[in-house]
Chain A
Amino acid sequence: MPAPTHVTSRRGLLLGTAAVSAGALLTGCTSNDTKDEKPASNDRPAADDKPGKHVTIGFAGPQADHGWLNAINDNAKNRAKKYADVTLEITEGSNDTAAQIGQIETLINKKVDVLVVLPADGKALTQVGLKAMRAGIPVVNLDRIFNSPQAYRCWIGGDNYGMGLSAGHYIGEQLKDKQGARVIELAGLDNLELTKQRTQGFDAALKNYPNIKKVARQAAEFTVESGQAKMSQLLQAQPKFDALWNHDDDQGVGALRAIDQAGRSDFLMVGGAGALSAFQAIEAGNSVLKATVLYPPTMAASAIDLARALGQGKGVGGLAEFEIPASLTLYSAVVDKDNVGQYMSTGFK
Chain B
Amino acid sequence: MTQPVSPPRGSTGKVPPMGELPAWRTLGARADVRTLSLLGVLVALIVIGGITKPDEFLDTRNLQLVLTQASVIGVVTVGMTFVITSGGIDLSVGAIVALSSVWATTVATQEYGFAGILFTAVLVGVGCGLVNGLLIAYGGMVPFIATLAMLASARGLALQITDGRTQIVSVDAILNLGERDSYVLGVPPLVLVFAVVTVIGWLILNRTTFGRRTVAVGGNAEAARLAGIDVRRQRLYLYLLSGLCCGIAAFLLIILSGSGQNTNGNLYELDAIAAAIIGGTLLSGGRGTITGSVLGVLIFTTITNIFALNNLQSDVQQIAKGAIIVAAVLVQRRTASTT
Contact = CB atoms under 8 A, between A and B. Distances in A.
Interface of A: 1-6, 63-67, 69-70, 190, 215-219, 221-230, 232-234, 236-237, 239, 250, 253-254, 257, 260-263, 277, 349
Contacts of A67: 164-166
A64 B263 contact: no
Contact of A237 (B53, B163, B179): B53
A233 B306 CA distance: 9
| Majority DSSP secondary structure for residues of A touching B | helix
Contacts of B261: 223-225, 250
B266 A277 contact: no
Contacts of A215: 311
Interface string B288-327: 0000000000000000110011110111000000000000
A248 to B, nearest CB: 11
B266 A3 contact: yes
B56 A4 contact: no
Interface residues of B, number: 39
B180 A225 contact: no
Given A6-B263, A223-B261, A237 B308 contact: yes
Given A190-B315, A261-B179, A236 B258 contact: no
Most chain A CB within 10 A, of B53, B163, B308, is at: B308
Instruction: List the 10 closest A-B pairs by CB distance, nearest first.
Output: A233-B308, A3-B263, A223-B263, A3-B266, A237-B309, A257-B258, A66-B164, A219-B314, A190-B314, A65-B164
B165 A236 contact: no
A216 B308 CA distance: 9
B75 to A, nearest CB: 15
B163 A64 contact: yes
Contacts, number: 118
Nearest to A252: B166
Contacts of A6: 263
Given A253-B259, A257-B178, A257-B258, A223 B266 contact: yes
Interface string B223-259: 0000000000000000000000000000001001111
B71 to A, nearest CB: 12
Contacts of A219: 313-314
Given A233-B305, A237-B53, A237-B311, A221 B266 contact: yes
Given A225-B266, A232-B65, A239-B56, A69 B164 contact: yes
Interface string B256-277: 1111011111110000000000
